[in-house]
Structure 1
């Protein structure tokens, strides 16, 4: 054991000495992805969220909040679900504990076979929900659109049928509509089953960093491109005008882009908290991430790739910037990093592993900074403090494992169009969606 520790210490010391003695130009050439992309993006994120947290609420927002308190508009909460028999009642009970006084809950069972329809009818008989049962499955988009047509509220809240919420969450979502140009508001998400195992803890870190901090910054910069289908709010008029949800997977990102193309802004409500269970098995998580990341190619590249074309009639820098943010930091970096690593190994084989160690140290330091900012802004700092020891593993989780899964998803979707055969959406519905695919 002593020899192992001594060897690791010697390796660490030698790695640091190597890079301290290197010419700055050589070091820059080897570390350019980190220096030119990661550091500026991380630091910009931290500066933006800290600046926002220090700012008092605007007068317009305070006035809108008071107006909501005096005359709270009807809100329609949509709960489309497939085989959510075990979780539906818990979610409905959590919604009924909301402090917001004027909302309806619309549940659509999308061809469920586990008895969800029986639970829905029982809850409807109590007057808690409005329930609709589809005998044939049409996919989440179909169920969401049906619920939208049944909705009577001025605002629509979309959420999963297996989630729970803080009691003031609907209030926090609605207040962000104080600006008339806001068409959609993203809620904040946390992992409810974080203590289950290592995988759920790493996902909990992912949620507090990429959603709790990342989306807060993106919204303030005007480049937020996603209102998660797990929890978010939209103006019903905007949803109806843009045609609602198209066939998924990735339908939540798609509907958000459509609201931006209609001229709307997307806001983020950090205090509108939704708790959801994350996959606790690696195979389940792997399949989920494949499905989610295929939508990058299906929607951002195929369907909305024209947003990069300045000659198109609806081209705008306002929508180009968030597209660039998504495509560069997710797709381009994921695809190019393997080539960069191969080049680095072939050109600097003797110092390749010390370099990897040095980069890991840098990313770990940045991730801890990111985590501390998230902790300072968190509504649950005591709970999330338990994730502190897992931050060093987070870099490996995001940088190696998840990036590899993303690469597989992008290549799979680009060459094999697997998203059109996903069981997430029934085959006959998928066939119809291909009609509208420009590629």
Structure 2
């Protein structure tokens, strides 16, 4: 196998570097991977086989997982707990969440850390958007929504990443994800954003759930003091919180069991 390696020297951001690399590419498939992870030995082969066996697939995302051995080596109870939660969250998001989304042709975003494309499809897009930090989500919508082509997940193509370093990285990471989601969604909801489309347009539904239905939880938290001032029993409020927490625990247990089954070899 012959490899040609180019070093793209750019200070203009990831999107510009990817676009440069796409123009330089000459193969049938283009695969993006981040530099801070490790591919499972059969990951690329599994992706190519999926492309070859289904000519309708235009692009796909791989499955991103923290390396389990590294998670077990994390020191400190709090940090290890955070790393283990991240591990199961990634497993749930990729092995079940994106699989369900893809089966409904509603995959929201391909992972910027590991994704693959037919080059001919990439050349039909506007390439990666340099004006958003959610360039991977924008590319997903370009291919699936604007071009009307098939985007899926290849769950047996795994890219291992290091466990999260701490709460500071967690905050920065989630802030970036939410900002990118909002930026990209604004471009694709200008003609479709209305309550009547809640059950028809998955993007409207996704944004309502992610950025609207979570708001009452915050209001409820701050309203507790007000409710006590209005004479509501603190015992009743406490029991209400315990019931809500118990329901969250049930959902978490179901997710944990489901992901554990999916992770079985």
Please say whether Structure 1 and Structure 2 have the same fold, judged by a TM-score greater than 0.5.
yes
Per-residue CA shift, 1:205-261, capped at 9, x if unaligned? 210112221111111122111110111111211111112111231111111011012
CA distance in 2, matches of 1:242, 1:221: 22
Aligned to 1:152: 26
The correspondence of residues 175-214 of structure 1 with structure 2, limited to 5 A, is 175-177=49-51, 178-192=53-67, 193-195=70-72, 196=74, 197-214=80-97
Output the TM-score relative to the length of structure 1.
0.52
Query: Do the aligned partners of residues 133 and 186 (structure 1) sit closer, same or farther apart at CA in structure 2, a change above 3 Å counting?
Result: closer
CA distance in 1, matches of 2:49, 2:177: 29
**How far apart are residue 262 of structure 1 and its match?**
0.6
Aligned to 1:297: 182
Aligned to 2:99: 216
CA distance in 2, matches of 1:374, 1:210: 9
Aligned to 2:160: 275
Q: 2:129 aligns with which of 219, 229, 246?
A: 246
Q: 2:143 aligns with which of 255, 259, 276?
A: 259
SS at match of 1:170: helix
Structure 1, unaligned stretches of length 5 or more? 1-101, 103-126, 311-316, 381-439
The correspondence of residues 28-427 of structure 1 with structure 2, limited to 5 A, is 128-134=3-9, 136-177=10-51, 178-192=53-67, 193-195=70-72, 196=74, 197-247=80-130, 248-260=132-144, 261-301=146-186, 303-309=187-193, 321-342=201-222, 346=226, 350=234, 351-378=236-263
Query: Do the aligned partners of residues 181 and 332 (structure 1) sit closer, same or farther apart at CA in structure 2, a change above 3 Å counting?
Result: farther
Segment drifting more, 321-330 vs 160-169: 321-330
CA distance in 2, matches of 1:208, 1:235: 26
Question: RMSD of the alignment, in Å?
Answer: 2.4
Query: Do the aligned partners of residues 291 and 142 (structure 1) sit closer, same or farther apart at CA in structure 2, a change above 3 Å counting?
Result: same
**How far apart are residue 360 of structure 1 and its match?**
1.6
CA distance in 2, matches of 1:174, 1:335: 42
Q: Return the structure number with greater helix share.
A: 1
CA distance in 1, matches of 2:18, 2:220: 43
Per-residue CA shift, 1:110-145, capped at 9, x if unaligned? xxxxxxxxxxxxxxxxx65512241x4110001101
SS at match of 1:164: strand
CA distance in 1, matches of 2:164, 2:4: 28
CA distance in 1, matches of 2:223, 2:160: 43
CA distance in 2, matches of 1:245, 1:349: 55
Equivalent pair of 1:158/1:232 in contact (CA under 8 Å): yes
